[in-house]
Amino acid sequence: MCGIVGYVGPKKAVPILVHGLKRLEYRGYDSAGLVALDRSGARRFRVVGRVQNLDTELFGQDLPMTSGIAHTRWATHGKPTENNAHPHTDSSNQFFVVHNGIIENHDKLRLQLEADGVVFQSETDTEVLSHLLAKFYDGVLEHAVEKTLHLVEGTFGIAAVTTHEPFKIVVARRGSPIVLGLGNKEMFVASDVSALVQYTDQVIYLEDNEMAVLTPDEYAIRTLDNRPISRKTFQIDWKIEDSDLTDFPHYMLKEIYEQPQTVENAMRGRVLQAEGVSKLGGLQAKIDEIKKLRKLILVSCGTSYHAGMVGRYIFEQLTDLNVEVELASEFRYRKLRLDETTGVLALSQSGETIDTLAAIREARRKGAITLGLVNVVGSTIARETDAGVYCHAGPEIGVASTKIFVSQLVILNLIALLIGRYQSVSLSEGMALLKELQELPNLIQKILAQAPLIEDIARKYHKAQSFLFLGRQMHYPVALEGALKLKEISYIHAEGYAAGEMKHGPISLIDEAFPTVALVPRDATYDKMVNNIQEIMARSGPVIAIANEGDRSIGDLVDDVIYVPRTHELLQPILSVVPLQLLAYYAALLLGREIDKPRNLAKSVTVE
């Protein structure tokens, strides 16, 4: 979704702003803009489409300014046009603002401003902010920001500047992330650390209802009620090289191939093989409360929700907890009865998904213990949960989440084992699970080596209008995830279904042009899955099976088969999902899609 970058210091601001916007491109956007300032005034540039277009617009311009703010916009109010692109300004072109989030009462504020004679230049909710800044300015920008934000309902991460104080940036947040980057006599700001890693590894996250004033030499944080805040500095734990493409054509492919390493990173220092248990430092502070839990609710969205669905089976197998799994966007509106014997575990790559964050806040309000399983260190969900575990998977840039799903499944096993070993899981069961967990990186390598075969299968079927993905038990969410991957990057319609539901409706869709991907591991559901496959084939539906190595009979039955190694039942989804990721990737590639930035999608969904 929208991205913010800001710089104030001794260097030329424009190249830093443009570079920062490029680092935020993966989040999804449809227009871009920046404003740069010095004592002589401000220059604003805005374009529809890619940051590359902004580069073209800026080419050959003499822009010595040393401060500025920039933005990538993902349209919510008004089409992606130049007029709607940020930064927005007031009628005198002296106040500029970039904004992530939604101003819910913008209609009312707009009418009041129009009654005062203000003429609006865009259809956005954001523009009211720039006019309000001009209205309230008393010579100190932060006073105007404070007064403006007191009138605002909704969510915001903003950065504001004025030509009256060109070497100052004021930022504020409520619901949309803002992170300050601390340099040597220079300050940076962004909505996401990936825009900052090239310049500094020292960052500070603003909390809701806080603002910060940045000048080259210092920063000051205070609440929107004007209480000064002192906040600890975070050290970013990844480097700029981690977010480079290296030799891969797309981030999604790079991240699929990183998965053996992702699994190792998820396990590093967390496996106590001889004791058959895991060690998770991030849960230690709350371990007494965690031991007393009777119920666990897993909340998340998208791919993280599918990981949560697999997690339900893992926790049911390894612990005595009652386990529920729910979409965060639904959970937060339910009539919930929670107390301190309920744990609510939020799964999120970004740690910023607004629905997941709201679910956690609702759970905490009602007295539950909140836990996080998050990739981005220092993100809002990571900070706001009572305890949690990081994926330590490095940045995931491709909009289609891949390596984080695998990382989440590994860590769900580790969390469930930690709890389960206080309950009924035996030493030998724990040791067996951990032993097989440590084999996974090699087994994933074996699947990756089959990429040419999977590409051939994608070539055979990529012109299909629709795909069905079927699985049972733990492989039902894997089927959902396979369908999500295919639809989001190839735009082929795909549905994931619990195979037992086939006969209750979807079977009417089957014909020779409608391929089914069937997940058919050698587990307790095997025979039933084979029956489902037979039913599809009897209706001339092509079937691609994801089966365990050595399962010749499936190979003889279906049109195409991709074999994956067999592992512990609770770990099998970690292997089964890899060919589905590759299948989606190659189908999208053959269809010429923009794989890392699929249309309409954003990497981190920070609006409801």
Least spacing, CB of residue 497 vs ligand M6R, in Å: 18
Q: In this structure, what DSSP letter does residue 513 have?
A: T
Least spacing, CB of residue 603 vs ligand M6R, in Å: 7
Question: Measured from the CB atom, is 385 or 604 closer to ligand M6R?
Answer: 604
DSSP 274-310: GGTEE--HHHHTTHHHHHT--EEEEEE-HHHHHHHHH
Least spacing, CB of residue 482 vs ligand M6R, in Å: 11
Least spacing, CB of residue 408 vs ligand M6R, in Å: 8
DSSP 323-369: EEEEEHHHHTTS-----TTEEEEEEESSS--HHHHHHHHHHHHTT-E
Within 10 A of 287 (CB to CB), how many other CB atoms are there? 14
Within 10 A of 210 (CB to CB), how many other CB atoms are there? 20
Q: Which residue type is seen at 158?
A: I
Peptide bond into 87 cis (omega under 30): yes
Q: Is 603 a known active-site residue?
A: yes
Q: Do the beta carbons of residue 339 and residue 590 sit within 8 Å?
A: no
Q: Rounded CA gap, 602 and 149, in Å?
A: 26
Based on C-alpha coordinates, what's the Rg of the chain? 25
Question: Measured from the CB atom, is 162 or 329 closer to ligand M6R?
Answer: 329
**Catalytic residue among 22, 168, 286, 603, which?**
603
Q: Give the CB-side neighbour count of residue 42, counting CA atoms within 13 A.
A: 28
Least spacing, CB of residue 518 vs ligand M6R, in Å: 22
Q: Rounded CA gap, 162 and 338, in Å?
A: 47
Question: Measured from the CB atom, is 420 or 496 closer to ligand M6R?
Answer: 496
Question: Measured from the CB atom, is 356 or 370 closer to ligand M6R?
Answer: 356
Least spacing, CB of residue 353 vs ligand M6R, in Å: 3
Q: Do the beta carbons of residue 35 and residue 67 sit within 8 Å?
A: no
Distance between start and end Cα atoms, the chain:
12
Residues that bind ligand M6R (CB under 6 A): 301-304, 348-350, 353, 356, 399-401, 488, 601, 604-605
Question: Measured from the CB atom, is 37 or 374 closer to ligand M6R?
Answer: 374
Residue nearest to ligand M6R (CB): 302
**Maximal C-alpha separation, the chain:** 79
Within 10 A of 573 (CB to CB), how many other CB atoms are there? 28
**Catalytic residue among 2, 22, 286, 487, which?**
2
Q: Rounded CA gap, 79 and 73, in Å?
A: 10
Question: Measured from the CB atom, is 122 or 401 closer to ligand M6R?
Answer: 401
Within 10 A of 531 (CB to CB), how many other CB atoms are there? 14
Within 10 A of 608 (CB to CB), how many other CB atoms are there? 11
Least spacing, CB of residue 399 vs ligand M6R, in Å: 5
3-class secondary-structure state, position 67: strand
Question: Measured from the CB atom, is 161 or 484 closer to ligand M6R?
Answer: 484
Q: Which residue type is seen at 311?
A: G
Least spacing, CB of residue 231 vs ligand M6R, in Å: 24
Least spacing, CB of residue 428 vs ligand M6R, in Å: 34
Question: Measured from the CB atom, is 551 or 596 closer to ligand M6R?
Answer: 596
Question: Measured from the CB atom, is 120 or 248 closer to ligand M6R?
Answer: 248
Q: Do the beta carbons of residue 69 and residue 167 sit within 8 Å?
A: no
Phi, psi angles (nearest 5°) of residue 444: -65, -40
Question: Measured from the CB atom, is 9 or 308 closer to ligand M6R?
Answer: 308
Residue 215 CA: distances (Å) to CA of 159, 184, 425 = 13, 12, 56
3-class secondary-structure state, position 379: coil
Report strand pairing: 543-548 vs 560-564: parallel
Within 10 A of 327 (CB to CB), how many other CB atoms are there? 17
Least spacing, CB of residue 373 vs ligand M6R, in Å: 10
Q: Is 22 a known active-site residue?
A: no
Within 10 A of 591 (CB to CB), how many other CB atoms are there? 15
Catalytic residues: 2, 603
